[in-house]
Amino acid sequence: MVLHPWLQEELTVIVARLPPLDQAPDAAATRVTWAHWQDGLSIRFTLLDDLPPLRLLLILDHLAGHKSAAFVCWLMAHGIMPLYTPLGGSGLNMAESMQRILVSRALSGQHPENPAQIMAGLEAVGRGWNAAPTPFEWGSKRAVRCQQARERRHRLSGSGAVIHPPLPQQGMDSNGDGQND
């Protein structure tokens, strides 16, 4: 996969910048730590026999390349535990929303000529976001509008079909008071 060499290079730099461990934990304690992060996962990958101390948790989506044995083994060998977002999880939707916002802020009106300019723009926007983050709210104005639109729909005889506006019920006048004058 094209992303992996770049991602491996970036992760190597990030792990190298982490503060040093006070003391190296023994192999048994290290294995317990790694196994702890797999508790509750519906799908677990096999841990390497020889594990370094766990240094970083990396949240990934379910792309096939993110689950390849070579990539997962590389991550573990560098003290990085991959964790995968739940399928159909709302957390991914929120992450994608945030990504769209950051990318649009970083690249709006810009014409980057190389990847370094794109990365610099995204890093600057990320620093700004972290300094004054915008809170996300589920059930915002958009959710209210969607709910109101759903309430305006009227089902036809229990089918999935809907109509706008509702058909008048038999025996009802246009006012809905049941009196046909």
Count of helices and strands (H, E) across the chain: 6, 4
Most confident of 74-78, 93-97, 101-105, 140-144: 74-78
- Which pLDDT band, with edges at 50, 70 and 90, does 113 fall under? confident
Sketch the domain layout of the chain as residue ranges.
Answer: 46-87
Question: How far apart, in whole angstroms, are the C-alpha atoms of residue 165 and residue 181?
Answer: 22
User: CB count, 10 Å around CB of 101?
Assistant: 14
Q: Any bridge partners for residue 151, and if so which? A: none
Mean pLDDT throughout 109-137?
Answer: 82
Q: pLDDT: is 43 or 6 the higher one?
A: 6
* Average pLDDT score, the chain: 79
pTM passes above 0.75:
no
16: pLDDT strictly greater than 90: yes
- Which pLDDT band, with edges at 50, 70 and 90, does 1 fall under? very low
Q: Any bridge partners for residue 162, and if so which? A: 155
Write the pLDDT tens digit of every residue in 134-163: 666 666 777 788 788 777 777 666 666 767
Q: Which pairing describes strands 162-163 and 56-60: parallel, antiparallel, or unpaired?
A: unpaired
Write the pLDDT tens digit of every residue in 169-179: 666 555 555 55
Q: Helix-strand-coil percent breakdown of the chain, rounded to 5?
A: 45, 10, 45
The phi and psi torsions of 135 (rounded to 5 degrees) equal -70, 145
